[in-house]
Chain A
Amino acid sequence: MSVYQKNEFKEVETSRTLSLVVDNQPGTLARVIGLFSGRGYNIESLTVTEIDKIRNLSRISLVTRGTSMTIEQIKSQLLRIVPVHIVRDLTLEGLFIKSELALVKLVVKGANRVEALRIAETFRAKTLDVTLSSFVFELTGKPSKLDAFIDLMRSLGDTEISRTGVSAISRGNKTETKVLEQI
């Protein structure tokens, strides 16, 4: 333990999902990632894509982990970045939806092919590519559901995985439109 460590009770670290609206310009993502690496915060998942072509905005969905003091610090630090306009703590705000997409390639022959298709059907995965010795499945949903599916596929044969990372949005009729108009 460092002598400069905070005099706090052993506070538990929790996972938080943050939703950011940022300017879609070179360097913005580097600033966000640089903040996390430079200050020693965790990134568990990060996705970024343009969401508004006219205003040139992107959304970053970010899953991080820390004590509430650390999370507050992360949020304040993110807001210091000039092209970051909105920082929302979805975990703190209430109910929200977290979804992810996985592409799973499975190399499989013989009886396990039927098993793979049966499991894929149970998980409502789409079959995107079929050869005599392989499948590519597409599955969306909660990360835990994707984890379970991938685990099962791994037990059936050689796999290759590509996941998008979590994308998140709050439930209910609240939107950011008014805030975005002021940008």
Chain B
Amino acid sequence: MKYNVDEKGYYGEFGGAFIPEMLYPNVENLRQNYLKIMAEPSFKEEFDQLLKDYVGRPSPLYLAKRLSKKYNTKVYLKREDLNHTGAHKVNNTIGQILMAKRLGKKRIIAETGAGQHGVATATVCALMGMECIVYMGEIDIARQAPNVARMKMLGAEVRPALSGSRTLKDATNEAIRDWINNPVNTHYIIGSAIGPHPYPDMVTRFQSVISEEIKWQLKEKEGKETPDYIIACIGGGSNAAGTYYHYLHEENVKIIAVEAAGKGVHSGESAATSALGKEGVIHGCKTLLMQTNDGQITEPYSISAGLDYPGVGPMHAHLHKTGRAEFISATDDEAMNAGLELTKLEGIIPAIESSHALAVFKHKTFKPDDVVVISLSGRGDKDLDNYIKYFKL
């Protein structure tokens, strides 16, 4: 079984490029060039250098001793929370801004939900001196004020998405419309492993530095490159894609994806796409998505804005369908408590997205000699408001 993208842009039956003709020239240009550009020695050198000196990579692989003791297994945390800007998102935006420059683009657009990808995009645009426009749902703008301020400080223009439900899905629609309106000078930095081919593959490759590092870090610490389990939270799935990438074909490594169940998978307020979604087309790719019987895309819910997306990247849809990855889901309550538990046990306040991955211990028991790697995708500073409200701190 092959889990990577094929030459037509599909992961099994998922993926492809379901785009209006207006986007075809840009997407086709990217498709024809992304692998070539990524393989150029000068690109690799610049990318690696920025990841090292600007982002602060490699991110540590940390043996969480007190957490391990509590669950009677061996838990390593991949510390993406220690990256510049506070999450894994910047790995992708560094890669794509370098890509945009080589494609001769002058103007950058992005979508953002909680604002993490928006901040990561505004950051690299400041770094490269490029114009940056970030689309963000009007409702998200109101509830993520600090990130809106960050983006503005970084020189980005934050444009409210006023259509539909005025959240991430609609911000993505607006970014796509902007790209249709500005077909020549603009590059669209998609923040997750979603969108038309080649985006899911490109984003995954930029994020794959995560599993590349885990391999040699684990070799140093455990004498072998492969853990027994590799675990990540999943919304659109960029962090998960990067965390799994170099293990996809290591069949002895068990892959676990933790989705956001919100107030419960069947509560009507959930973002557990693999459980609730059906095959469909959203934002340019065929994947699993939450929708009505009539094919209208429905609004997901999660306490974590980063997991609040009605679809899942096409690679993940394929991993789900083939059974390569085990999909579980964690509720708001389970995630919040897992986040607090990590804070108390290890002195690390995780992003609420990452807290979902940590909630795996509520659903699975591991053996004492299992090596379990969990991707800690981001830090919790941005979520303090939520933590304060939830725990009445």
Chain A complexes with chain B: no
Residue numbers of A with Cβ under 8 A of B are none
